[in-house]
Structure 1
Amino acid sequence: MSDENHKIETDAHSGTETTGHEWDGIKELDTPLPRWWLWIFYGTIVWAVIYMIFMPAIPGLPGMSADGDHSRGLRNHSERANVAIAMEALHDSRAEGFARLEGASIAQIENDPSLLGFVLAAGEAAFGDNCATCHGSGGAGAIGYPNLNDDVWLWGGTYEDIHTTLRFGIRAEHLDTRFSQMPAYGRDGILTTAEIRDVSEYVLSFSGLSEDAEAAARGQVTFESQCAACHMEDGSGDRFQGAPNLADAEWLYGSDPEQVYSTIYRGPYGVMPAWEGRLSDQTIDALAAYVFLLGGGEDAASGPTGQ
């Protein structure tokens, strides 16, 4: 039906005029929008115009803002400037705590309730921003990511050891980074598949998990020639090389026979960033103390108690 031939028609049931549009016998009513809805709609238009005048809003206007790509607005509002101000205020509020933390030993931190509270708060914030992605919000870790709550440490668990690891990283780009490399025995063809299976059984035997004594016995010969230089003949590892303790029933890449086989086959190794230069010295101090206090830190006087 064309508009030219349409005659105004009133719907018999509602008393409302129709628009002239009809589909399959269904006619469209010419019902006006509610006035309250229209006033809200008009109000949003007015608000948008006012907002564009006072706030940064109009894109594509070079030279009109610090970024050169949008209008400044009469308020000259900048969230970047607000964040900078907030960060400066946060830095000022922490200045006294960081000053007290500088040079403090872990014993001094633990024996000073106010300093301990500051370290836990500042360290937790830094951990959440920079470490939780890999180690988890509570530091429990995951497959391939160390658990920071236990007393198993590849490079030492004293406050000073943790501080060094954080500052220089592990296999990072820093010149002083901690570094170790386990060969990819299978991928690089150093050992055969059968030899790797046997070594896997022998490694599992350190924790009483081996199910094939004959394979473990064969694997011992290969282990002593290929692995003992780093992991020691008894599997206790060597922290100076970052070589894990294989006899403590703690497994970074899993204790399932296939996981152990895969570890030996591909020689995995993780990378932790060097935080020196990325975080302030004070933040690294707080972060090291926080990690130590998660539950697995070691007393320097007592020496290593775990991996």
Structure 2
Amino acid sequence: MSHQTEDKEQELQAGDPNTTGHSWDGIKEFDNPMPRWWLWTFYACIVWAIGYTIAYPAWPMLKEATPGLLGYSTRAEVQQDIDAVETQNAPLWEQIEQVELASLKDNTDLHGFAVNGGAAIFKTWCAQCHGSGAAGAVGYPNLLDDDWLWGGTVDDIAQTVAYGIRLEDVADSRFSEMPAFGEILAEEEIAQVVSYVRSLSDAPHNSALASAGEVIFLDNCSSCHAEDGTGDRFQGAPNLTDAIWLFGGSEEAITETVMNSRYGVMPNWNKRLSEGEIRAVAAYVHQLGGGE
């Protein structure tokens, strides 16, 4: 059994306007004019849009957009706001540059401003290496603990930030260099001294190798790391007794360090940051929990 459907043309009534001539399933569309108010609103929008593209930056060109007759720039507007804030904060930055860093915390308001400013600077320039939370990574120091190669006072931190680490062309840069003992000691001797170094922090080790490694350590390593392995901040030699390791404390990691040395560098920020900004980021790092 089949069904057949027939399209029935819509019948026009007397007084109906003309149709557009289109028909959908027998339904025709009246050709009614648009309301006058809608048309004038539409035309006004067109005129306004044309005027806007003439007055303001609008049309993309090869290198930049058309500037517009009014010369308006959102970047310039933002820069004005930045300049206004910098002008307002200028006296505070001057105070930060002049105050003794060790006594900065005694001025609660100024210290708060410095820490907040330093946090922004840290997240802009330092977090890429030290992490957003300053916990560091392999090869990048954790700034939350109290283990510092060159000291953790706020002045020490400012010195490190300003002049960097192991930069040969910066006179005041922190500098230390550990020999690659793979060129000096035999593999057996290296294994012995590695076991001894691990014993200093009570890490699992081979006692027999460690006993022999003590002599090697005293002959080759104690001049920098001290006879008891506690290090020397003047030379930037790390403390080997606290189980805090920059490049890892596993047997493999320490062996790599002894054999081939490590030579991490840090930029000197005194060419990119102002004196006040360096002091502010030092104050921020100092109060994170590891500052002395």
TM category (shorter chain) comes to 0.7 to 0.9
Q: Report what 2:223 is aligned to.
A: 229
- Is 1:112 aligned with 2:112? no
Q: Secondary structure at the match of 1:95?
A: helix
After the TM superposition, which of the residue ranges 82-91 and 228-237 deviates more from structure 2?
82-91
Q: Would the aligned equivalents of 2:102 and 2:154 in 1 still touch at CA under 8 Å?
A: no
Q: Report what 1:148 is aligned to.
A: 143
Using structure 2 for the length normalisation, give the TM-score: 0.77
Residues 234, 91 of structure 1: CA spacing in aligned structure 2 closer, same or farther, 3 A cutoff? same
**Which of 263, 266, 281 pairs up with 1:269?**
263
Q: Report what 2:30 is aligned to.
A: none
For the residues of structure 1 that align with 2:24 and 2:193, how far apart are their CA atoms?
A: 87
Using structure 1 for the length normalisation, give the TM-score: 0.73
Residues 230, 52 of structure 1: CA spacing in aligned structure 2 closer, same or farther, 3 A cutoff? farther
Q: Would the aligned equivalents of 2:101 and 2:155 in 1 still touch at CA under 8 Å?
A: no
**Which of 87, 90, 95 pairs up with 1:95?**
90
Give structure 1 stretches of 5+ with no counterpart.
Answer: 1-10, 18-41, 62-68, 299-307
Instruction: Report how far residue 70 of structure 1 moved.
Output: 4.8
Q: Report what 2:76 is aligned to.
A: 81
Q: Note the alpha carbon deviations across 1:199-251, whole angstroms, 9 max, x for none.
A: 11111010011420111122222222221111112111111110101111211
Q: Report what 1:29 is aligned to.
A: none
Q: Report what 1:24 is aligned to.
A: none
For the residues of structure 1 that align with 2:235 and 2:175, how far apart are their CA atoms?
A: 7
- Is 1:211 aligned with 2:205? yes
Q: Note the alpha carbon deviations across 1:124-147, whole angstroms, 9 max, x for none.
A: 111111111111122111211111
Q: Secondary structure at the match of 2:81?
A: helix
Q: Would the aligned equivalents of 2:229 and 2:240 in 1 still touch at CA under 8 Å?
A: yes
Q: Note the alpha carbon deviations across 1:64-110, whole angstroms, 9 max, x for none.
A: xxxxx553233434454344333322321221221222332345322
Q: Report what 1:184 is aligned to.
A: 180
For the residues of structure 1 that align with 2:170 and 2:53, how far apart are their CA atoms?
A: 48
Residues 241, 58 of structure 1: CA spacing in aligned structure 2 closer, same or farther, 3 A cutoff? same
Q: Report what 1:197 is aligned to.
A: 191
Residues 58, 205 of structure 1: CA spacing in aligned structure 2 closer, same or farther, 3 A cutoff? same
Q: Report what 2:11 is aligned to.
A: none
Residues 81, 252 of structure 1: CA spacing in aligned structure 2 closer, same or farther, 3 A cutoff? same
Aligned residues: 253
Residues 84, 208 of structure 1: CA spacing in aligned structure 2 closer, same or farther, 3 A cutoff? same
Q: Note the alpha carbon deviations across 1:170-210, whole angstroms, 9 max, x for none.
A: 11342221111112223xx3333332222111110100114
For the residues of structure 1 that align with 2:277 and 2:77, how far apart are their CA atoms?
A: 22
**Which of 52, 57, 60 pairs up with 1:58?**
60
For the residues of structure 1 that align with 2:198 and 2:261, how far apart are their CA atoms?
A: 17
For the residues of structure 2 that align with 1:57 and 1:194, how far apart are their CA atoms?
A: 72
Q: Report what 2:159 is aligned to.
A: 164
Residues 152, 50 of structure 1: CA spacing in aligned structure 2 closer, same or farther, 3 A cutoff? farther
Answer with 1 or 2: which has the greater Rg: 2
For the residues of structure 2 that align with 1:84 and 1:175, how far apart are their CA atoms?
A: 36
Q: Would the aligned equivalents of 1:202 and 1:210 in 2 still touch at CA under 8 Å?
A: no
Instruction: Report how far residue 160 of structure 1 moved.
Output: 1.5
Give structure 2 stretches of 5+ with no counterpart.
Answer: 1-5, 8-22, 26-41
Q: Would the aligned equivalents of 1:231 and 1:238 in 2 still touch at CA under 8 Å?
A: yes
Q: Report what 1:286 is aligned to.
A: 280
Q: Secondary structure at the match of 1:295?
A: coil
Residues 265, 215 of structure 1: CA spacing in aligned structure 2 closer, same or farther, 3 A cutoff? same
**Which of 268, 289, 292 pairs up with 1:295?**
289
